[in-house]
Amino acid sequence: MIFVESEFATLQRVVLAQSEFGFPLQPRPEDLRFLTKEAITENMQHKGQDYSEAFPDLQQQWEKERASLQAVLEKYGVKVYRPRKLTLAEKAAAGNDGYSNFFVRDPFFTVGPCVIEGSMRFLHRRNEVLPVRDIMLAQVYPADCVYAAVPRPAIAAPDDSTLGPGPFLEGGDVLVLGKKVFVGSSGLASNPLGAQWLRKFLQPLHYDVEIVKLDPGILHLDCALGLIREGLMVICEDAFVDGIPAALKDWKRINIPMEEATTLGTNGLPISAQVYITDPAFSHIGEQVAAHGVKVEYIDFRISRSFGGSFRCSTQPLLRKHI
C-alpha cells in the first residue's frame, strides 16, 4: 500500500536519502540566501568539486548521520528504502550546474494515494529524481496508487534570475493534513504555477490546496513549519508573509525565531503522533515537544543541516497512515 494521510500519521515505509553533492561551477549567489554564511563560503571556494573530495572526513560524518537516522527508523518498525548512487554519466551530464542526491523529500512527494515527481527549481537538483526511479519501479508501479509527474519547467534565458515561470513544485513545500495540502512559496523553490498544477491534479480526489507565502530567505515550507501531531506544531511565525494559515490558527504553537528556522529548527520528523525526531542542537524545542507527551529522539544532523535540510528533507514517506 502507498498512502500518506498526514505529516504525523504512523510512518511505515520511507525512502531515506543518500549523501552526494557536487558544487556548481558557477553558483548563483541569489539562490544561496537560505544557507548559513559558512555554507555560502563553501560553495564559492569549492566550485566544481565533489563534496566527498573536498571534505572526505565530513563526508564520512554525513553518511553516518543518515545511517543513524535509518537505525532509529528501523527501531520503530519502519521499512527503509535507499536510492541508488549517481552514475558517472549522470554526474557528467550535470555539466557546470553541479549535481545532488541528498534530500529525497523534494524531487518527489506523496499525497494520499498519489506519488508525484516534482519539478525542481535549482539547476543542480533538476535530475535528482533519477536515483529514485528504481524504487518507483519496484514499489510504486505494482501498487494500487497514482503515479504522475509535474510538467518539466520552461527553459529560462541565461540572465533570468527567476529561472523562468516553471512550474516549480518541490516536496519540501508540500505538507499534508488529511484532505488539506499546504504548498509553500518563497521564490526559491515551489511557485504559484506549481501549486496551481497540484490543485488541478488533486481536484478529482477533493483535496484543498492552499498556497502559503513565505519570507524570501526560507527555502521550503517545512523549514518554517512542522506538524508534530494533531493540534501541535513547531513554527517560525515570522516566516509567514500573510500570517499562519487559518486551518492552523487554533493549534498549540512552539514558536521559534527566524535564526533557528534557517538552521532547520522546524524540520524534525514525526515517526508517529507519539514519537518525534530532532537534532540535539534544538533540545530546547525537543523539551517543549516532550512536555506535550511526545517522546523525542535526538540525532546529531549537523552536516546534513549545513546543506539546508534536515530530517524531513532527508526522507520521503511511501506509507503514513493512522493505525
Strand-pair partners of 50: 22
Instruction: State which amino acid sits at residue 321.
Output: K
CA distance 41 to 169: 27
Q: Please name the residue ranges forming H helices in the chain.
A: 37-45, 51-54, 56-75, 88-93, 133-135, 192-202, 258-262, 283-290, 302-306
Chain centre distance of CA 20: 15
- pLDDT at site 160: 92
| Active-site position among 114, 220, 223, 236 | 220
pTM over 0.85: yes
* 322: Cα within 13 Å, side-chain hemisphere: 8
- pLDDT at site 78: 98
Mean model confidence pLDDT for the chain: 97
How many folded domains does the chain comprise?
1
- CB 46, CB 21: distance < 8 Å: no
Mean pLDDT of all residues in 254-272? 97
Catalytic residue list contains 313: yes
Cell of 115: 506519488
Q: Which residues of 132-158 are buried (b: 16+ CB within 10 A; e: fewer)?
A: beebbeebbeebebbeeebeebeeeee
In this model, does residue 235 exceed pLDDT 90?
A: yes
Mean pLDDT of all residues in 292-299? 98
In this model, does residue 42 exceed pLDDT 90?
A: yes
Domain that holds residue 135: 3-320
In this model, does residue 323 exceed pLDDT 90?
A: no
Strand-pair partners of 13: 79, 319
Q: Model confidence over 202-234: pLDDT tens digits?
A: 999 999 999 999 999 999 999 999 999 999 999
- pLDDT at site 262: 95
DSSP 232-275: EEEE-GGGBTT-S-GGGTTSEEEE--HHHHHTTTT--EESSSSE
Return the ∠ at Cα 68 (arms to 103 and 309), rounded to 5°.
Answer: 25
Q: In CATH, what number is assigned to the domain containing residue 68?
A: 3.75.10.10
- pLDDT at site 122: 95
> Edge-to-edge, what's the strand order for the sheet holding 295-298?
269-270, 275-278, 295-298
In this model, does residue 197 exceed pLDDT 90?
A: yes
In this model, does residue 255 exceed pLDDT 90?
A: yes
Q: Please name the residue ranges forming H helices in 46-183.
A: 51-54, 56-75, 88-93, 133-135
- Strands 275-278 and 295-298: what pairing? parallel
- pLDDT at site 30: 87
Q: Model confidence over 126-153: pLDDT tens digits?
A: 999 999 999 999 999 999 999 999 999 9
Residue holding cell 534530500?
A: 103
| Active-site position among 114, 223, 236, 313 | 313
Catalytic residue list contains 292: no
Reported as a pLDDT band with limits 50, 70 and 90, residue 108 is very high
- CB 140, CB 115: distance < 8 Å: yes
Mean pLDDT of all residues in 90-116? 97
- The share of the chain scoring above pLDDT 70, in percent, equals 100
